Amino acid sequence: MTIVNALTINVEDYFQAPAFQLSIKESDWGLLSPRIEYAVDKLLLLLSDHNVTATFFVYGWTIINFPSMLKQIADQGHELAYRQYNSPDCHHLNQSRISEDLNRYHEQLAQISGHRITGFRNDSETPDWLEEELILAGYEYRCENSASEIKAPNALTARRDIDFQHLHVSSHRVLTKPFDIINAYTIRTRKYELTRKLVTRYTEETKTPVLGNISTWLMDNLQPNIRADSLLKKWLHQYHTKEAPLILHQLFSEYGWQKISDIYLHKVLQLNSMKNRKGRCVS
């Protein structure tokens, strides 16, 4: 049986990319010329051409400023989920403000999409108290942004007492360090043949879907050349960006991809439940 994989997409304008996290503050976003609609339109067309659905993780800033764009995403069958922005130089998280944002944007996204919002992602390590806040706000899963945040060996873990899922971007190891199989950087900095081999090996060895993660700015080949946090980050951001649509075309042509709610929250959980029942019967 062919395994269909799960695709997540960070809805990011060019100036919200990781290469500019230190040099461009959140307070500066409104001062820059947005290009997010251009990138999203191109990506939606590519996804439609390959019958791919995905889960789009969205900042509160984007929810406020681009509700029509988000409705267009939802209307094409994709899933919307909330992404909490945490400044890299912020060492203290305001629990009351984050809790307020979780509830406010959960409700706004539901109104925009017309569907229940179940997914959450954040840009830094999750504090212990956040999971309870997510559950109270109505979220059903948290998806890591990178393999470097993985705290468990499996792609999916769950609390036994509460129906809340932890999803992890699929990774492979080089020596002792995990690297994402599919993200905005790895698909451009390695040959596509290696990406294909990693996807195939992962699905064959684990018998589970690959969970990939890309960003919308990959589709913006006309983004302005602005100063990045470092020369290395700038190089990584610009490397083979023009080739990114072709790389994604190959990836979507060779493998099936759907949104998280269709893959992990339904099919994989049902499979795990069947395995558990089978184990109990055997014992």
Residue 157 confidence (pLDDT) above 80:
no
Q: Is the pTM of this model over 0.85?
A: yes
Residue 280 confidence (pLDDT) above 90:
no
- Exposure string over 143-166, b if 16+ CB within 10 A, otherwise e: bbbbbeebeeeebbeeeeeeebbb
What pLDDT sits at residue 128?
A: 82
Q: Which residue has the higher pLDDT, 157 or 183?
A: 183
Residue 57 confidence (pLDDT) above 80:
yes
What pLDDT sits at residue 275?
A: 45
Reported as a pLDDT band with limits 50, 70 and 90, residue 155 is very low
Of the chain, the percentage scoring pLDDT greater than 70 comes to 86
Domain count, the chain: 1
Q: Are 268 and 217 in contact (CB under 8 A)?
A: no
Average pLDDT over residues 177-202: 95
Reported as a pLDDT band with limits 50, 70 and 90, residue 163 is confident
Say which CATH number the domain at 143 has.
Answer: 3.20.20.370
Average pLDDT over residues 134-138: 94
Q: Are 227 and 24 in contact (CB under 8 A)?
A: no
Structure tokens at 76: 């094409």
Single out the residue of 13, 164, 141 nearest to residue 85, CA to CA: 13
What pLDDT sits at residue 153?
A: 41
Q: Are 207 and 182 in contact (CB under 8 A)?
A: no
Of the chain, the percentage scoring pLDDT greater than 90 comes to 74
Q: What is the pLDDT of residues 60-101, one digit of tens each?
A: 999 999 999 999 999 999 999 999 998 776 656 688 899 999
Reported as a pLDDT band with limits 50, 70 and 90, residue 18 is very high
Reported as a pLDDT band with limits 50, 70 and 90, residue 148 is low
Q: Are 255 and 54 in contact (CB under 8 A)?
A: no
Spatial distance between the Cα atoms of 100 and 97, rounded to a whole number of angstroms: 5
Q: How far is CA 282 from CA 42, 116, 207, 275, in A?
A: 51, 38, 21, 10
What pLDDT sits at residue 126?
A: 73
Domain that holds residue 9: 5-282
Instruction: Name the one residue in this structure whose structure tokens are 């659905």.
Output: 53
Residue 272 confidence (pLDDT) above 80:
no
